[in-house]
Structure 1
């Protein structure tokens, strides 16, 4: 019976895919599905169909390897776990629909095939979800590590003046890294003024503000002054609404203005030189 079902799916893959696409386009995530290229949708769906056939006909070792490869591929597409589960559920529905429409299922065999489908698809879906979750977690962890490495360095731009550009969400782990790099950089570069640039920070809430205030206090303890630059209008409104006290900070809306003030603090300024 396994071989019969595998042959049916293989021979009717095109019609099953058409039904599946219609079901996916009706989902709430349909817009996301629609922006994908037809070739990517078709190849991914066919690979899932082939995976179903393999699970009915091949040994466990081959099946496990193909699940892992498939999970890596769909994680690179950026599909969420909920989207993956919907796709698999709808693929199952598409198979049932086509089996009923073609007469493959009838009163005499429907119960047997439904039991087989349930016994076969449930562990298959669980295996894919588990493998996908692990792959996605590894991907997110690697992205997080890359972001930490790229967005927490102190850059000397002038003698005694350094800038630390902050990018992305600041959590407790990143805040610790920022603090360490900030203090080490201040001592290493002998900075007197440090500009924390939050232009690339999407949200400044109470926790983020607390981390920034802690960083500024630490900088003062090593003999430097900390300025907060890159405060966008929406960030300023949030800070005021939350009642966050930044009175001890020199703040500016742009890095350029912050640099002008930093130069003034260190008794320097930028002047234009007239051409002779």
Structure 2
């Protein structure tokens, strides 16, 4: 930036900031900032303009830019907040420099515009790049977190585990289900795995094939897979599509599936009250003899 213009801007930063704040505040109410509290909006604007002036004084301050971009993302504000703010700052700065000069011919105006652009454009690129990079990083972390939650394998009893599935199953998620299922079966030494599709809204040919492949993979490593949570509409869809689920047990509810899993592992649910009553009757019968 032209050193003469730079000096003017820095020496009159208070005036430029106030003009910028006035214009930014005038935009509030007609865009994405309408629902932001006044205090938060003003404090963030003050921090924004400090980042801008820090940039011109230090010829670029990547740390301040990085921190501010990350803050905007955490607040949930769009990238347009940054670009709009810098465009307004560009306009305010140019207007102020021109208003302070007696020379306003085309060459001077062109020089002012070029000088301000040389200052603002790199800052726009830096802020946008930092914002995009931070956003991609956050999205990546969220994606990993969702993947961990999308196909959990839960051991509920010795040799019995449950995999509850919720939401749509696509190819990528099906691959994750398969990996978690096989790793979990070996890790927990599971004899029976219950795949609960109660929370899966649609079961089409693709979804059914993925589930069949997962069940077949479990069978090949010596365990049994039970598909539970088959609602009437899903059962009808499976029949209409001609999908064969005869290779492994299916149950309408997790409770029924768990009972079946106990049978497979040579266990059963016993009503202790009835058992106690039976024992008491047996004792009374013996004593009566």
Is the shorter-chain TM-score for this pair beyond 0.5, marking a shared fold?
A: yes
Matched, 1:90 2:89: no
Which of 2, 5, 10 in structure 1 is aligned with 2:9? Answer: 5
**1:78 is matched with which residue: 76, 88, 97?**
76
The residue correspondences of 1:195-214 to structure 2 (distance < 5 A) are: 195-198=194-197, 210-214=209-213
C-alpha distance in structure 1 between counterparts of 2:45 and 2:21, whole Å = 7
Map 1:122-141 → 2, pairs under 5 A: 122-141=121-140
**Aligned with 2:83: secondary structure?**
helix
What residue is the counterpart of 1:44 in the other structure?
44
Structure showing greater radius of gyration is 2
Do the aligned partners of 2:191 and 2:224 also contact (CA within 8 Å) in 1? yes
Alpha-carbon spacing, 1:39–1:166, altered in 2? closer, same or farther (3 Å): farther
* CA 1:169–1:58: 2 relative to 1, 3 Å: farther
TM-score (norm 1): 0.71
Distance 1:204 1:74 in 2: 40
Map of 1:69 onto structure 2: 67
**How far off its partner does 1:44 sit?**
2.5
| CA distance 1:42–1:167, shift in 2 (3 Å) | farther
Normalization by structure 2: what TM-score? 0.69
Q: Deviations over 1:155-213 (max 9, x none)?
A: 22123321124467766565444323322332343433212245666887776555433
Contact 2:8 2:97 in 1 (8 A): no
Moved more, 90-99 or 136-145: 90-99
CA distance in 2, matches of 1:38, 1:251: 57
Aligned to 2:142: 143
Q: Taking structure 1 as reference, are residues 103 and 173 closer, same or farther at Cα in structure 2, changes over 3 Å only?
A: closer
Q: 4-13 or 215-224, which moves further after superposition? A: 4-13
Matching of residue 16 in structure 1 with residue 20 in structure 2: yes
Structure 2 unaligned residues grouped into runs of 5+: 277-289
User: 1:179 touches 1:215 (CA, 8 Å); kept in 2?
Assistant: yes
- 2: CA distance, partners of 1:66 / 1:167: 41
Q: Does residue 180 of the first structure (1) align with residue 197 of the second (2)? A: no
Tell me the distance in 2 between the aligned counterparts of 1:9 and 1:207.
62
In structure 1, the gaps of 5 or more residues are none
